[in-house]
Structure 1
């Protein structure tokens, strides 16, 4: 059973509830955004929780065993606290959440109710709703190696050993024409064949999107070079913005052999029988 602080216990026993929930979000870059459902800002546990965004929260669900519990929180999108650009850039992905119950008449009386991580975020009409995942969600992450036909190494890492810094595998270019939030005509990549950078990693090195990185969805050459990104940058790329992009790898043995000449370091099991072999039945005259 959780013990309540004496001050908070006395407040609850008085028969008059002066409670407010507070959410403290700590991003992976260390930035802290604190929100409260109270109608005024609250200073709790050394943090100023802002009331300007009209934050609300759902019921907090939990379950026995290793089932992932959690809830939701909703708030308005404001340029001062949380805006579309921050969410698009992934700055809140995996942020740590602390849910605190505080006595707004005496903020020194508070209780940490739950810790969670930020999950899926939905947006509509100037507001967002964020999923709060319980700490047990970390148990769903894959640990160790996977026995699959495809390679489980990341291109260029210590197990793959491909030297991505070589000009053959890394290109530098600039945005020529933006045709959409995640689609643009690229300059400086004319020496590379179509599809060479598909599933590769693109990082903006200049302009308003500097530092933003994402995977390349498609690389086409039809008179001009076009790159389509899986995740749109915080701002629509402008002509002249520079970037670097690495060759893509689809994890197949043939790609490792033919594109990278890296057969010895392939980390998959291309000859492992698949489901078709497991489900195959004996046939007269068959093997």
Structure 2
């Protein structure tokens, strides 16, 4: 059987799009996936240690598959895609073994090629566990710990792009919100080539005429154009005062605002 062994990859994006690749010279098919040999995706040697050691591998490819477009790569649509790798007998695909399961790290493009780190199922174990005691809130606005309903009136707004200068957008149709209301919030593209992409808001300035100037922490992978629709979601700076006054949600605040500052530990103690 060793002379008929090939490798087959399945890569599934977060939006459900799934592609199959193989290093065999003909198509393979199993698990309702067609694995194509001319798709331009390969992998360096897969190194998997025993126990919980980190998998070390890299997926590499060329922009030769119609479904792997430069536009999607730049937009981050392939980031964190699920990856499965089999060793399969190409003469009988029923004889196969799953040897890797994980996901792609950040996809990096270089010229006409791309590469991405492969991260195994043990990767989450490298993250810090437990709760952090900090004056600011540890929850994400709107998640199960925060419990704030972002669909409440006034906490989101939709508008139209007038211009985009490398992550500095001018929007129209958004009015009635205080300056800075959307700082630390999120901008979500609702139409255009960048539809579905989002980014965190660094600065938010209200302008006359129902206009809004928004600066993003990181520019979108696909640049919006005039006429594209967007949604802005209110931001939270994690402070207790913001939770209480802006969101009226202090009951669910997940920080510890009364913790003494770090320099309290080294401050001279006064005998009483």
Band of TM-score, shorter chain = 0.7 to 0.9
User: What pairs up with 1:196-275 in 2 under 5 angstroms?
Assistant: 196-221=181-206, 225-233=212-220, 235-275=222-262
Work out whether 1:155 is the aligned partner of 2:141.
yes
Shift of 1:282: 4.1
User: What pairs up with 1:29-178 in 2 under 5 angstroms?
Assistant: 29-78=15-64, 80-141=66-127, 145-157=131-143, 159-178=145-164
Partner Cα separation in structure 2 for residue 219 and residue 83 of structure 1: 32
Partner Cα separation in structure 2 for residue 56 and residue 129 of structure 1: 10
Question: Mind listing any 5+ residue stretches in structure 1 that lack a counterpart?
Answer: 1-10
- Bigger Cα displacement from structure 2, 153-162 vs 131-140: 153-162
Root mean square deviation of aligned Cα: 2.8
Partner Cα separation in structure 2 for residue 62 and residue 42 of structure 1: 25
TM (norm. structure 2) is: 0.84
Contact 2:61–2:115 under 8 Å retained in 1 = yes
Partner Cα separation in structure 1 for residue 251 and residue 96 of structure 2: 58
Aligned to 2:8: 22
TM (norm. structure 1) is: 0.80
Contact 1:20–1:101 under 8 Å retained in 2 = yes
Change over 3 Å in CA distance of 1:39–1:268 after alignment to 2:
same
Instruction: Work out which of the two has the higher radius of gyration on C-alpha atoms and give 1 or 2.
Output: 1
Question: Mind listing any 5+ residue stretches in structure 2 that lack a counterpart?
Answer: none
